A and B are shown apart, each in its own frame.
Chain A
Amino acid sequence: MRIEQRVWRANTGWRVAASDGALAPALVLFFAAPGTLDDGKRFTELRTLYPGATILGCTTGGEIANVDVLDDTIVATAIEFAHTRLAFAEATVEGDGGSEAAGRRLAASLPRAGLRGVFVLSDGTHVNGTDLVAGIQKVLGPDIAITGGLAGDGARFVSTRVGLNANPVPGRLAAVGFYGDEICLGFGSFGGWDTVGPERIITRARGTVLYELDDQPALALYRNYLGPEADNLPASALLCPLRIHPPGKPEAALVRTVIGIDDAEGAMMYAGSVPEGYVAQLMLGHFENLIAGAGRAAARAAIPDARLAILVSCIGRKLLLGQQIADEVEAVKKVLGAACNLTGFYSYGEIAPLENSPFCDLHNQTMTITTIAEA
């Protein structure tokens, strides 16, 4: 397995950031700041740079190139596998409630024989991530690990794009499947946010829209928690993730992140489902705990001789930590070691298996890592 990583900047164009020498990559993963893809030239350049590769990528809320967290760049990582075979799939999300069906269509186009794991990129503003993952897993079953993330749009939450062998477009899902006995995949996901305040009950919600907590408008509660940051809603709601769990089952807790607000209804829109009757608790970030959380995710994802780690971290973490966000990437690097190259992006939702469970789910506000090695 050999890798080459390039970073595109407006001032400098494409520059090689890391290289194992001349290679014939089967896969190029790229993560692009919103706006950088608009004229379609960067994709054409990538195609020219790696003519034989399948090119998979999306827009982001920030790009990761080894230990750097970048803005306004494109990070492309070309991967040459010695033995591993790949298969690719894409699908379009059609209308409300189409996320699960799209997930099923996506998974159905991946051959099952020898499939070891799937990395998925999805539109991040028009998709119910929970339904999407459920749809994929319905087809693939619980034995195949599914990781990935929802594309980002900086902190704007307007338009997110995904592309497979084409310049990325909104409403699209795309995936790469890894095949064969030589591929070795690891994954880990961890948040590090702290719950604060009392547990509240979700008293009114529909799908991914939350109206009331303890019979009080959810938006009012967020405004109170956000204080001076309330003016920057919905982006600033990322500073207050919502931890939810079924009543009496705190071990099945998930963290949900806001992707939009409805001022008229006093409602909050999330990247995943917020079921009525669930117990909810607001969370706040503590710098040291978030950075340590990234390290814990890396410890879970660590596998021997990992050459590449794809980091999908939440935009909310970056929003809070600012330029100090690079600390969490350094924490990951420290665990995975110098030989493991890092790439990835800041996302609107992370996909990874649940801890101690065969099932995958959408995560929010976490650092989620997929590590790759070839035997």
Chain B
Amino acid sequence: MHRMLERQLIRARADSPDGETDLETLLSLVDAAYVEFDRQRRILAHTHEIMREEYLRINAGLSRLRDAITQMGAGFAIWDSDDQLVLCNGLLREIMPENAELLRPGITFAECIANVGSVYVFGGDEPPREWVAERLLRHRNPGDPFEIVAGGGRHIRIWEAKTSEGGIVGVYVDITEGRRAEGELRRAKEAAESANRSKSLFLANMSHELRTPLNAIIGFSEIIQGEMMGPLGDHRYLDYARDIHNAGKHLLEIINDILDMSKIESGKFKLDAEWTDIGELVEGVLHMVRARAREAGLALHAAAAGLPSVFCERRVLRQVLLNLIGNAIKFTPSGGRIDIDAKMTAEGGIMVSVADTGIGIAPQNIPLALTPFGQIELTLSRAHGGVGLGLPLSQRLAELHGGRLQIESAIGRGTTVSVTLPPERVGQSALRSA
């Protein structure tokens, strides 16, 4: 008799007051059992169906992951908690073609690395024990990505991390190409820097070579102009001599600018700073440009008195102001006005600005105006003369003082160029000695 029927009989007897088998109880228990069996069969069938659905879902997820690992642009491997290879992708085998046969599930990392070391790093020899130990230690205690240099100058970048089951997941990228490109780039940069240094040296030498004969031209034209050896007779000789003298001086300025620029670019420009009274400096510069401004029909105004002294190279600052005012005269039509203003900034620095009512610069052209020889590209030089070194040189000179040069301008509205020197270059009182 089935154990269940035995139990049902026991219960049918227990349920009866007289100890006889209670048929009604027995039948209801047997009937209930049949109903239960039907229900359990349905549950089992559905369970089977659910398991199949879940299997398909999990399998689809697994296929997707496997596909992603196959397609990813790097070598990939998972090592289990016993450090045995669980899976790796084809790219890892491509990165290490000599080990492709070896990279099968079940191989330990230690076996693998001994072989990789031999084939890749040590040209067929057994790798040194320390090398293997170091690599194993790094593998088991993964941290930041690192690189190994394999045979044939191949670079492999390795990123490894612990998995939650205590294994290791690794991504291996052959970065040989990247490393080679980096090398080429570095060599190209070095060549360019070297060429630039040669250029600066060439310019310095050329400037020196040009200045020597120029000094003769300027000096002798001045002597002729002064008729020191007696009268020249025809007044046209006097005019020619003045033209030679002016042209010579202009040429000398250009050569000096080029020389300064190349010194700055080659890092050889040394500031010779001293405490300087800005008011005096501006006064001196005005003295030099007033005649040119008057000839150009421009009104020249300056406000630069009562300021503290500034620790700067006087010659340089003067050159900057001459450049800025020279530009203002050059680019302002007759009848215009030039204002030179020196004042303290809110931060405690000193700002000297030169504002004109001239033709102005379009905002998009301001960066070009600050590029050496940029003026040439702006096609202004043909109309106005000059090589376009004044503004970039002034900017570099301001920067050498820790300051900055700013341009505000609009076409037809004039230009304001400001040179700001930082607070650390500004003295406490109106004038102090260095």
Contacts and interface: CB of A to CB of B under 8 A. Distances in A.
Interface of A: 7, 9, 11-12, 15, 68, 70, 196-198, 224-229, 239, 248, 284, 320, 322-324, 326-327
Nearest to B46: A227
Contacts of B14: 7, 9, 12, 15, 68
Interface string B1-43: 0011001101100111100001000000100110010011011
Contacts of A225: 50
B43 A239 contact: yes
B54 A322 contact: no
A169 B131 CA distance: 75
B227 interface: no
Contact of B11 (A15, A68, A226): A68
Contacts of A228: 42-43, 46
Interface of B: 3-4, 7-8, 10-11, 14-17, 22, 29, 32-33, 36, 39-40, 42-43, 46-47, 49-51, 54, 57-58, 61, 164
A327 B39 CA distance: 18
Contact of B15 (A11, A224, A284, A322): A11
Nearest to A248: B164
Contacts of A320: 40, 43
Contact of A197 (B15, B36, B40, B54): B54
A324 to B, nearest CB: 7
A227 B45 CA distance: 10
A227 B61 CA distance: 24
A306 B8 CA distance: 28
Given A227-B50, A323-B36, A198 B4 contact: no
A330 to B, nearest CB: 8
11 contacts: A7-B14, A12-B17, A196-B51, A198-B57, A225-B50, A228-B42, A239-B43, A322-B36, A323-B32, A323-B33, A324-B4
A70 B14 CA distance: 11
Contacts of B39: 229, 322
Contacts of B50: 196-197, 224-225, 227, 284
Contacts of B40: 320, 322
Contact of A68 (B3, B10, B32): B10
B43 A229 contact: yes
A322 B58 CA distance: 32
B21 to A, nearest CB: 13
Given A12-B14, A12-B17, A229-B43, 9 more contacts: A12-B16, A196-B50, A227-B46, A228-B46, A239-B43, A284-B47, A322-B36, A324-B36, A326-B7
